[in-house]
Structure 1
């Protein structure tokens, strides 16, 4: 019987495989589908859990990284997930690092890609508290077309997310919170091994961002992937999964 209170949000999730729990965390412009090849790679050796982060369900005044950590923690408690390995991209990577800092007793390892929290090439919020996402959309479009693993439906979902004005407010709020909640304040205190899998052609979080993460982390390792942008799990899944498995094993 679960002794913990019901989580704040009953988000959908994937739970497959058996063994060591590995949690995959998407970013602002992704969802569960972006992890398809990673899930298929890991599920034979690990229990793979992929929650859909409730980025657009949280109240707008709670659309920040700190609250997302709280929501994620309650999700883990409700599902009795402990001694976990966290894999995150974009703000999902920032969430993974933040959670590992606050709850080190529940985390074994962390893997991040294109992680936010230090520096990102995203246009600033304008007076209307909206972001011009053209450059970010181009990155997402390039990633999905380079690897035709999710098809037009997934691309349309991403674009619909970006173009919906109500969701734009949440994205703007989370992006602003991500920039203000700088991980540099606590990275040196993260006591778990961290692997950074980074695209050498990442234009949103360039390779020097990964190097800066490495300088601040006590137990950090970098794996660069050539001819790869912001989404290595989509653009170069074979190289990404190889590096992931090597680190996990």
Structure 2
């Protein structure tokens, strides 16, 4: 299979620089990184891609069986890294992709040498001694709404997820991204995302890790960022002066500054 076509791989930047793999979250695509890429291309080889079922990836490669687990998305990441023969790449994952990166690093340790988790959450549902931000009933209602009227769900949820009510164009962009995703594939990705529990995987991370959280985030509240930081050995936690769940869009300067500082420490 042509992985470059399947996952719509784009490679830009310095071909001799260290490799960075940027991975989008649910309902998004690689275009969501457009405000981050310019800060990286001088010194780094930047790899962007779309998960199967998202963006301009080859939808014919979608399998509900494969993508009903985060392992399926992690295999996409490993496939991309193998197709480009990446070694010790820095994986930058937004939202659910942060956990996908954790799984991918476990599958192919030689391919991923560091992790950057942007607004991560290992579990969205509250549990005893753990606050994920949602009750089980909340998630059930969210999924029922998504599955019964995906376009309506997108219009209602995108502004809440994005935050930044004073900049409605950001919520509109996220809504358009959601609406461009095939509803049947989005349904699978949503269930995989919001019902996942990757808490036990965090303690097995053995590479340098940066955790980026926002001051206010309805999807991944600060208690989650603190949990991830405690669970990942030796990780660094940075609280960005940003609100919402997509700081690479709402606060790109702060996001890029924290990312570049972390990358500089790796070199």
TM-score range, shorter chain: 0.7 to 0.9
Q: Secondary structure of 2:193's match?
A: helix
Q: Secondary structure of 1:37's match?
A: coil
Q: 1:207 to 1:135 in 2, by over 3 A?
A: farther
Q: 1:179 to 1:156 in 2, by over 3 A?
A: closer
Gaps of 5+ in 1: none
Counterpart of 1:96?
101
CA distance in 2: counterparts of 1:127 and 1:230, whole angstroms: 20
Counterpart of 1:108?
113
Deviations 1:130-188 (A, max 9, x none): 5745553113554697496x897x556314236xxxx2332232222234442112211
The answer to whether the 8 A contact 2:115-2:210 is kept is: yes
1:59 alignment partner, one of 22, 44, 63: 63
Q: How many residues align?
A: 239
* 2:180 is the counterpart of 1:161: yes
Q: Secondary structure of 1:73's match?
A: helix
Q: 1:208 to 1:156 in 2, by over 3 A?
A: closer
**Which aligned pairs between 1:77-156 and structure 2 lie closer than 5 A?**
77-119=82-124, 121=134, 123-124=139-140, 125-126=143-144, 129-130=147-148, 132-133=153-154, 136-140=157-161, 142=163, 146=167, 154-155=173-174
TM-score, normalised relative to structure 2? 0.79
Q: State the 1:240 CA deviation.
A: 0.6
**Which aligned pairs between 1:141-220 and structure 2 lie closer than 5 A?**
142=163, 146=167, 154-155=173-174, 157-161=176-180, 167-220=182-235
Q: State the 1:127 CA deviation.
A: 9.1
Q: Secondary structure of 1:196's match?
A: strand
- Name the Cα RMSD after superposition: 2.8
The answer to whether the 8 A contact 2:121-2:228 is kept is: no
Deviations 1:30-66 (A, max 9, x none): 2122111210000011001111121252122322311
Q: 1:117 to 1:168 in 2, by over 3 A?
A: farther
TM-score, normalised relative to structure 1? 0.84
CA distance in 2: counterparts of 1:219 and 1:107, whole angstroms: 17
Counterpart of 1:7?
3
CA distance in 2: counterparts of 1:147 and 1:79, whole angstroms: 38
CA distance in 2: counterparts of 1:245 and 1:123, whole angstroms: 35
Q: Secondary structure of 1:244's match?
A: helix
CA distance in 1: counterparts of 2:177 and 2:147, whole angstroms: 20
Q: Secondary structure of 1:195's match?
A: strand
The answer to whether the 8 A contact 1:8-1:74 is kept is: no
Deviations 1:104-130 (A, max 9, x none): 222111001122432254632239955
Q: Secondary structure of 1:105's match?
A: coil
Counterpart of 1:239?
254
CA distance in 2: counterparts of 1:198 and 1:177, whole angstroms: 22
